[in-house]
Amino acid sequence: MACTADQGLETMKYRFFSVLASMPAEEEEAVNRFCAEHRVISVDKQLIQAGERSFWALCICYMDKQAGPMSTRKNRVDYREVLNDKEFSLFAKLRDLRKTLAEQEGGPVYAIFTNEQLAAMVQQHATSKSALAQIDGIGPTRLEKYGEAFLNLLRQHPLDPGEAPLA
C-alpha cells in the first residue's frame, strides 16, 4: 500500500520497525504505543525469513494526531477552518444533499461521499464527471449513481468571482 507525500496541509511521515518473530513482545509494545500516539495511514509489513533471527519488517506511514490546521482534538477536520466562507457554504449544501440521498436510501451518509470528498469537490471546483473521478475514493459506481446530482449543485454555485452558474 502506497502512502502519498501529503494529504491536505498535513505532511505524512514514515517510521520503520523490525519485530523479532520468535520473541515479539518487546518490539510489539513499541509498535502498539507508536500506533496509539499517531494517526496511522498505512502499514506495509513483510516477514524476513532468517531462521531463528526471522523478523517482521514494518513501514508505518502516519501523521501526527495534532499536526497542522486540519486536525482537531478528536482527530477530525473542521472544514470551517479549512474552507473560506463561500466554499464552506457550498460544502454545507453538498452535505445537505448527501443527507437527503442517504435518508432516501436508508444508508449512512459516508456511503455516498465522505466529508473529505465533498471538500475536495469544492476545493477543486469540480464541474465534470472527469473532475469527480480524480478525487480519491470516487469510483465509477459512485460517479454513476450520485455524480450528476452533486455536479448540478456544484454548477449552480460557482466559486470564482464573476463566473456565471453553468446551465
Instruction: Kindly give, in sequence order, each residue whose CB lies less than 8 Å from that of residue 154, ignoring residues fewer than 6 positions away.
Output: 90, 94, 121, 122, 125, 126, 127
Instruction: Kindly report, residue by residue over 57-91, the tens digit of the pLDDT.
Output: 999 888 876 544 444 445 678 888 888 999 999 99
The correct answer on CATH 1.10.150.80 for the domain covering 79-156 is: yes
pTM exceeds 0.85, yes or no? no
Task: Confirm if 59 and 16 have CB atoms less than 8 A apart.
Answer: yes
- Cβ distance 52 to 45 under 8 Å? no
Give the pLDDT score at 66. Answer: 53
Residue 40, strand partner residues: 62
Q: Are 70 and 61 in contact (CB under 8 A)?
A: no
Q: What is the pLDDT of residue 161?
A: 53
Q: Identify the pLDDT of residue 129.
A: 94
What residue ranges do the domains of the chain occupy?
6-64, 79-156
Q: Scan for cell 517482521, then name that residue.
A: 56
Neighbouring residues of 67: CB distance < 8 A, sequence distance ≥ 6: 10, 11
